[in-house]
Amino acid sequence: MPHINVDENLPGIRSLMAFSPETATPMGKLANLMLRTNEGLSMAEREMIAAHVSYLNDCFYCQQSHGAIAACYLNGDTDLVEQVKKDYEQAEISDKMKALLSIAGSVQKGGKHVTEEQIKKAKEEGATDRDIHDTVLIAALFCMFNRYVDGLAANTPTDLSTYPLRAKQIAEHGYGNYIFSIPQPA
Amino acid sequence: MNMKEDIKNEAASHTPLQGMGSSFINLENDLPGIRGPMQYSPETGKALNELAEILLHDDNNTLSRGEREMIGAYVSSENDCFYCQNVHGALAQHYFECDMQLIDDIKKDYESASISRKLKALLSIAGSVQKGGKYVTTEQVEHAKNLGATDKEIHDTVLIAAAFCMFNRYVDGLNTWAPQDRQVYIERAPMRAKEGYANIDLNK
């Protein structure tokens, strides 16, 4: 049961956004700016960073949601997404992505856990300053989103079949306050 | 001991020295703390400040600005983020019209500090959020509600704590530099209190 009185028909962060639309607006903007662009990192790579950090934070709703969105951009390759979430070193992704996921994993522990060596390695693998900036900010943002969702004990659908429906909605239309103000995809 | 000296000595003894140009990436500016990456990435900077404005500065809130800044300062202290805990600690001090000793006492041991029981209950929730969302217990929330906390106040406490887990990581994850003299933060607080976050001039 959520810690506060939210719309029980809305899942996860959507119920919290509906409770507080004023704060939902800038959070939606941040999600669009950081996750809905292919500049430098692709949308699939960005969502994989989000899913990995949410996995490390043990946030079921966020890791399933962003894993499913990543899969939408990867022609439904859920196996790759699961591998990246749980053990990216063994995944079939670029060395640059592995270096960035390592940085994201350190950010998840705390900002000071990121080392010069990790940054150097990422740059050697071709990461730009912008890629590193975006990786740190995406990881930091999910340390917020995950805590927001679980800190208020938001409703978390356990039926995994509902996640791809919402993921398709995001993949097609992006983030924003419409995700709680219109009927949920079914 | 003179308060200003005390603050300086503490800063010198407990924080690593950082200097300009320490950032892991070329931020193309010399601004301290979060202002560096906000200038580097202005669109996300604007959205981050919009969020800060609603959570910390907007007066349409039953938690005072001082209480909300204190939650931010406390979480930043728990995350060991020197820049954020000093910016937001100085703002809490400004709004509370107290001396910095009270802010430092709250950060170190809020249970023993001279603040309301309700704020203590909310700081307890914020401290759990800092560890991870799942650390917040029904008992903590019930306790806060029994002391008069509303759903909106609990929501805002959790989101402020969560937001600082983001801000702190953005600041330290990029290894931005921070002024080490805590007096700098105290002197800047009245301006930020007056102007708020929404239309922040990063170069001022």
> In chain A, where are the structural domains located?
12-181
DSSP A117-170: HHHHHHHHTT--HHHHHHHHHHHHHHHHHHHHHHHTT------GGGHHHHHHHH
* Nearest by CB: A3 against B141, B171, B174: B141
* Residue at token pair 């001279």: B114
pLDDT band at B21 (very low <50, low <70, confident <90, very high): low
Inter-chain contacts counted by CB atoms under 8 A, chains A and B? 144
- At residue B162, the pLDDT reads 99
User: B56, B61, B155: which to substitute to probe chain A, counting the most A Cβ within 10 Å?
Assistant: B155
| Distance, CA of B57 to CA of A13 (rounded, Å) | 23
Contact flag A150-B134 (C-beta cutoff 8 Å)? yes
* pTM exceeding 0.90: yes
A12-181: CATH topology is AhpD-like (1.20.1290)
Burial environment of residue A156 by CB neighbours within 10 A (0 to 12, 13 to 18, 19 or more): middle
At A151-179, the pLDDT tens digits run 999 999 999 999 999 999 999 999 999 99
Distance of residue B170 Cα from the nearest chain A Cα, in angstroms? 6
Rounded Cα distance between A20 and A42, Å, is 30
Angle at A11 between CA B165 and CA A171, to 5 degrees: 85
Given a cut of 60, whether residue B42 has pLDDT beyond it is yes
- Please name the residues in contact with A62: beta carbons below 8 A apart, sequence gap of 6 or more: A12, A13, A50, A51, A54, A142, A145, A146, A149
How far apart CA B179 and CA A44 sit, in angstroms, is 38
Superfamily (CATH) of domain B33-195: AhpD-like (1.20.1290.10)
Instruction: Specify whether the CB–CB gap between A23 and B61 falls below 8 A.
Output: no
Give the one of B138, B159, B174 whose C-beta lies nearest to A136's C-beta: B174
Helix axes A60-73, A78-87, angle to 10 degrees: 130
Report the residue from B151, B155, B166 with minimal CB separation from A143.
Answer: B166
pLDDT of residue B5: 40
Question: Could you tell me if the ipTM is greater than 0.85?
Answer: yes
- Chain B residues with CB inside 8 Å of A177's CB? none
User: Which residues, including other chains, have CB under 8 Å from residue B25's CB and lie 6 or more apart?
Assistant: A119, A129, A132, A133, B40, B174
What's the confidence (pLDDT) of residue B75?
98
Question: Nearest CA of chain A to the CA of B96: how many Å?
Answer: 25
> What are the residue ranges spanned by the domains of chain B?
33-195
pLDDT tops 60 at residue B168: yes
